[in-house]
Amino acid sequence: MAAEPNPGSEIQATRLPGGLFVISERLRYLKSASLGVAFHLGSRDDPPGQEGMTHLIEHMIFKGTEEMDARAINIASESRGAELNAFTDKEATCFYARFPGENMADVTGLLTEILRAPAFRNPELEKEKQVVMEEIYSGEEDPESCMINLLMQAVYGTAPLGKTVLGTAESINRINENNLGGFYQGRYGAGCAVAVAVGDLEHQKVVDMVRVLDAKVGMRPVRESAQFRSPGFLTRTRRELSQVYVCLARPAFAYTDPRRYALAVLNTALGGGVSSRLFQRLRETEGLVYSIGSFVELYEDSGLLGIYFIAEHRKLARCIAVLREEIERLRREGITEEEFKRAVTMIRSGLVLGSESSIGQMMRLARGYLIAGRVVTLEEILARYDRLELAEVTQLVGELLGEDSYYAGVVGPVGEKEVGEILGG
């Protein structure tokens, strides 16, 4: 057992012999606590032809063990005032609970038990497959979800990052209890996991409570390198819609790249708030859109800087023209010192406010470990933003917002030819 003491800090960390990394942060003023167990496994790691496997496992974890069925798990959770939940994204899966701190032992025991010995019974699996299919159909009908899925496919094609987290009806139907159970037993283990607890708690007690998960093997996945396709766009024609949903993106870099702090500032100044350039120009000045913004998606070996908006069909060409004007102005002038300072302040504020929530702080610590392989403190992140210089952001403008074509996903009452003419024009 290896401990990582942090003198003067309320954050402590221990690596258990099997590889499980345990982080706790003691916040003495809280009456609640949050516990999460995150795995370095996501939809990018789904077996070929069985896309949606990791997301389906997320659902099935709560459907019973050999000793408890789903109803018993729900009763045990709610009887202790706990909220159990989970999420799956491209590269991680997290199971977590938020509860009154006095019930830490009971809720931790429940969460570790359902992770240690899920039953994956076939009757429950068949029902949950239908639930996931409803989720898939709902996502296909939702224009915003469809827009993002098309963008990712345009960027990464048929590679894992280009596929949806949910999978397809066909891939879900191929999954049975044997390959589901085999994938879970072989992949979800201590070597690719971190357990994080936040609240008024004692570190050693947390370590002792989650130790049962250290017995299960499982290493971080070896992934095929992500490759960008040539810039292009994909369109889903939906004549029943009156608006067009557009998502554009440019290639960025991996989440371990030290330039990610400058990228966060660039994103905030570009479209990350109501004072951002895109919001002010396209919504406040031109009145072209109701919803517009920018975003960053960073992965283990790849990344995107994206822009999205929703507009009436008749305004689409004007939106793209104004967007081009604003990006060209940004390339020509760069962001101002005032924009830079405001963006840094917004980012720091978001981090500080998030740290006052036990579940927000738990998520931040878990994600920091999955990305960096160590404890990443809030103070470390804030200090990095304090050292950031405007020149670092200015350099990224030229690197990421070039004159080359953008990737795009478009949904609405438009055809491929029209979209091509507008985007290419």
DSSP bridge pairs for 86: 95
Q: Given phi > 0 = left and psi -120 to 50 = alpha, else beta, which region is 157?
A: left
Write down the pLDDT at residue 9: 59
- Comparing CA positions, the residue from 179, 57, 62 lying closest to residue 129 is 57
Grade residue 7 by pLDDT with cuts at 50, 70 and 90: very low
> Per-residue pLDDT averaged across 152-175, rounded?
97
pLDDT in tens, 201-220: 999 999 999 999 999 888 88
Handedness of CA 102, 108, 109, 114 (dihedral sign): positive
> Per-residue pLDDT averaged across 286-312, rounded?
97
Helices (H), 16-88: 53-60, 70-78
Helices (H), 3-159: 53-60, 70-78, 104-116, 122-141, 143-156
pTM for the model stands at: 0.94
Contact 128, 60 (CB under 8 A): yes
pLDDT in tens, 385-416: 999 999 999 999 999 997 778 999 999 999 99
Q: Is 58 among the catalytic positions?
A: yes
Write down the pLDDT at residue 126: 96
Which among 4, 10, 25, 58 is annotated as catalytic?
58
Q: Residue 423 is encoded by which pair of tokens?
A: 């985007």
> Per-residue pLDDT averaged across 267-279, rounded?
96
Q: Which residues contact 87 (CB under 8 A, 6 or more apart)?
A: 58, 93, 94
Q: Which of the following CATH numbers is that of domain 233-424: 3.30.830.10, 3.40.980.10, 3.90.25.10, 3.40.50.720? A: 3.30.830.10
DSSP bridge pairs for 85: 96
Distance, C-alpha 397 to centroid of its chain: 24
At 3, which helix (H) or strand (E)?
A: strand 2-4
Helices (H), 356-425: 358-372, 378-387, 390-400, 416-424
Q: Is the pLDDT reported for residue 173 higher than 50?
A: yes
Grade residue 5 by pLDDT with cuts at 50, 70 and 90: very low
CA distance 305 to 188: 31
Grade residue 37 by pLDDT with cuts at 50, 70 and 90: very high
Write down the pLDDT at residue 425: 60
DSSP 285: I
Three-state secondary-structure class, residue 252:
coil
Contact 365, 196 (CB under 8 A): yes
Q: Given phi > 0 = left and psi -120 to 50 = alpha, else beta, which region is 81?
A: left
Write down the pLDDT at residue 6: 45
Three-state secondary-structure class, residue 93:
strand
Q: Which of the following CATH numbers is that of domain 2-215: 1.10.10.10, 3.30.830.10, 2.130.10.30, 3.30.360.10? A: 3.30.830.10
How high is the mean pLDDT of the chain? Answer: 95
| Residue carrying structure tokens 């400058």 | 262
Q: Is the pLDDT reported for residue 188 higher than 80?
A: yes
Grade residue 224 by pLDDT with cuts at 50, 70 and 90: confident
Write down the pLDDT at residue 8: 46
Q: Do domains 2-215 and 233-424 have the same CATH topology?
A: yes
pLDDT in tens, 344-358: 999 999 999 988 899
- Comparing CA positions, the residue from 346, 307, 302 lying closest to residue 327 is 307
User: Domain map of the chain by residue range?
Assistant: 2-215, 233-424
CA distance 92 to 30: 27
Contact 273, 177 (CB under 8 A): no
